Amino acid sequence: MTEIRLASLQGGAIALGSETLDALRQTLRGNLCLAQEAGYDEARTIWNAMIDRHPGAVVRCRGTADIIRAVRFAREHGLLLAVRGGGHNIAGNAVCEGGLLIDLSPMRSVRIDPARRTARVEPGATLGEFDKEAQAFGLATPLGINSTTGVAGLTLGGGFGWLSRKFGLAADNLTSTDVVTAEGEFVQASATENSDLFWALRGGGGNFGVVSSFEFRLHPVGPMVMSGLIVHPLTRARELLAGYRQIASKAPDELTVWVVLRQAPPLPFLPAEIHGKEILVFAVCYAGEEADGQRALEPLRALGEPIADVIGMQPFAAWQTAFDPLLTPGAYNYWKSHNFLELSDGLLDSLVSYAAKLPTAECEIFIGQLGGATSRVALDATAFPHRDANFVMNVHTRWREPADERRSIEWARQLFAETAPHATGGVYVNFMPEDEIDRVSSAYGANYARLAALKAKYDPGNLFRLNQNVQPAAQRPAA
């Protein structure tokens, strides 16, 4: 009999005999993979190349029963546990070193009910897979902006994108879930069943269980939407941002305009002499009728003299993939993020200054526009607390050569520090890198205490700790 050593929850390692792992393997629809076995490297490799961890064993789940058995196995043996959905999370918590990895990526079913306007989605599905199914019926729900992102992690952290100003967060459109708890029990959570757990899952991340199925509310969208880019030289960025600030304050819910500051990639609609030069990009999506969209865009189009304006009608599913070429897996990535109520003068000055000294060709600063429907939900209605945020900044550093790591990260941290006085102090949990565990309480603000109490109820041993972790509230001794 051979032994496999797996990392324990308490630190150190636990030796398990091969027959113990074989017994688990026999119960699975999916596969149990050890190092060097088929599927192991695929499961442990995620979007951010900064994360290079080697779990002791991987369960590649095919259904809820596999999740139940894997959670119970980890609990029984006291194993360090990680849960991977789409594997896109910047912090890399989807993979553990030496422990047991539950890989949900084989579970990718998306089923649309066009009559009820609902979608039932498994946790390995990506945004692109969801969109392709839903758009066949002219339906969508708010998701993110990169089609390779996993639906599960995006939603559990809140989830916002091009449709959020019109229809709210992904989590706001979640109507029910199937969940495997830390006890290895299967429960359902919705507004009427285990409603406290449902509250926590809408923004509380992976702290409370493994969601094996999500049900979403869908809305009529597309299949064609007005969307695209307006590209300007960075030399005019300060006045353009001031103009954008005014336009954003009056924008209808249907209109979402994000700002991207970066070097110009070699896009076919940009002149060759612009490639590699610093630019300001307005990325636009209008979730409504074309004629209304044209009118709503007039003020934005009146700003400055753009290098290119490539806004037009295109399939919504195609627009959802527009940034994919800039966000391919395999590069090193590090993010820093702030929420803002407004874009103050000092903030704009900092953005322009740092955009002029990008450390690599793939680094960027983006400003996502929120407000609209996202702000018309009570702060305590879901675990996601940032209902006052009108803008979210993501400082996205990205590099290919290890020699670029230090200056890329330092650039991001310096910009983060300089813009902090203008920020709310809150942060979107899905944008937090792994070195920001000190910001978890500010990520949840006034909702943190309730989350900690629910963590103590549903996961008192903190089995699900590889996430932006909410610590279980201390249990009061019995009277």
Q: 224-437: same fold as 3-103?
A: no
| Cα angle for residues 15, 20, 26 (degrees, 5° grid) | 145
Residue with tokens 């990680």: 82
The string of pLDDT tens digits covering residues 236-257 is 999 999 999 999 999 999 999 9
Q: Does the structure show a pLDDT above 60 at 478?
A: no
The string of pLDDT tens digits covering residues 16-39 is 999 999 999 999 999 999 999 999
Which pLDDT band holds residue 104 (cuts at 50, 70, 90)? Answer: very high
The string of pLDDT tens digits covering residues 84-98 is 999 999 999 999 999
Residue with tokens 């809820």: 64
> What average pLDDT is seen over the chain?
96
Q: Is 66 left (phi over 0), alpha (psi -120 to 50) or beta?
A: alpha
Cβ pair 37, 78 in contact under 8 A: no
Annotation: CATH topology of 3-103: 3.30.43
Which is it for the CA torsion 176, 177, 178, 181, positive or negative? Answer: negative
Which pLDDT band holds residue 477 (cuts at 50, 70, 90)? Answer: very low
User: What is the structure's pLDDT at 2?
Assistant: 85
- Cis bond upstream, residue 223 (ω within 30): yes
Q: pTM of the entire structure?
A: 0.96
| CATH architecture group of domain 110-220 | 2-Layer Sandwich (3.30)
Q: Does the structure show a pLDDT above 50 at 416?
A: yes
Indicate the CATH number of 224-437 among 3.40.462.20, 3.40.50.2000, 2.40.30.10, 3.50.50.60: 3.40.462.20
What would the two tokens of residue 248 be? Answer: 């954003």
Bridge partners of residue 207, in order along the sequence: none
How far, in Å, CA of 462 to CA of 182, rounded?
8
How far, in Å, CA of 397 to CA of 407, rounded?
10
Which pLDDT band holds residue 454 (cuts at 50, 70, 90)? Answer: very high
Distant-in-sequence, close-in-space partners of 55: CB < 8 Å, separation ≥ 6: 43, 44, 82, 95, 96, 97, 98, 99, 100, 101
Count CB-CB contacts under 10 A for residue 159: 29
Distant-in-sequence, close-in-space partners of 17: CB < 8 Å, separation ≥ 6: 1, 2, 3, 4
Computed on alpha carbons and rounded to an integer, the radius of gyration of the chain in Å comes to 22
How much of the chain exceeds pLDDT 70, in percent? 99
Q: Does the structure show a pLDDT above 80 at 1?
A: no
- As a whole number, mean pLDDT of residues 193-198 equals 98
Q: Does the structure show a pLDDT above 80 at 476?
A: no
Q: What is the DSSP letter of 471?
A: P
Which pLDDT band holds residue 272 (cuts at 50, 70, 90)? Answer: very high
User: What is the structure's pLDDT at 260?
Assistant: 98
Boundaries of every domain in the chain: 3-103, 110-220, 224-437
Q: For the chain, give me the number of helices (H) and strands (E)?
A: 14, 21
Residue-by-residue DSSP string for 25-38: HHH-SSEEE-TTST
- As a whole number, mean pLDDT of residues 216-240 equals 97
The string of pLDDT tens digits covering residues 114-169 is 999 999 999 999 999 999 999 999 999 999 999 999 999 999 999 999 999 999 99
How far, in Å, CA of 263 to CA of 223, rounded?
31
Q: Does the structure show a pLDDT above 60 at 479?
A: no
How far, in Å, CA of 103 to CA of 184, rounded?
16
Q: Does the structure show a pLDDT above 80 at 465?
A: yes
The string of pLDDT tens digits covering residues 276-300 is 999 999 999 999 999 999 999 999 9
- As a whole number, mean pLDDT of residues 451-472 equals 97
Cβ pair 196, 382 in contact under 8 A: no
User: What is the structure's pLDDT at 474?
Assistant: 84
User: What is the structure's pLDDT at 335?
Assistant: 97
Which is it for the CA torsion 385, 390, 395, 398, positive or negative? Answer: positive
3-state DSSP call for residue 468?
coil
